[in-house]
Amino acid sequence: MLTDIFGESPRVKVIDLFISHPETEYTKTDIANYSKIARSTLYEFLEELEEYGLIKKSKKVGNAQLYTVNMESEVTKLISAFQLSLAEIEIKKQLNKEKIESENKSKNVEVSSSK
């Protein structure tokens, strides 16, 4: 959802991934794959996301470090609330579109019946 507003930059893709799946833990490879970015690109800013408190290390599995969204962070809470607001707007738009389509179908039926 964030990428719809802010574009397809690698940082936005990664933040969107974490905010959209708050219960999921990811390896660096997972993050890169699911975000559709190169691992080398991810390495350029992953530490920065940690420093800002958006993500945090969760646990290690073998040699792989897992990361998760830091839902205790005020910044993350704000981004999550913003994304929720965007989703609500999108739902309202979709419901309004369906309502208009339904009304148009009803009008078409009435016109056909009167002929």
Find the range with the poorest average confidence among 8-12, 44-48, 51-55, 86-90: 86-90
Q: How confident is the model at residue 105 (pLDDT cuts 50, 70, 90)?
A: confident
Instruction: Note the pTM of the prediction, 2 decimals.
Output: 0.78
What are the tens digits of pLDDT across the range 28-37? Answer: 999 999 999 9
Domains: count for the chain: 1
The CATH number linked to 80 is 1.10.10.10
Neighbours of 76 (CB within 10 A): 21
Mean pLDDT over the full length of the chain: 91
Give the span between the Cα atoms of 70 and 85, in whole angstroms. 19
- Which range marks the domain in which residue 65 is found? 2-114
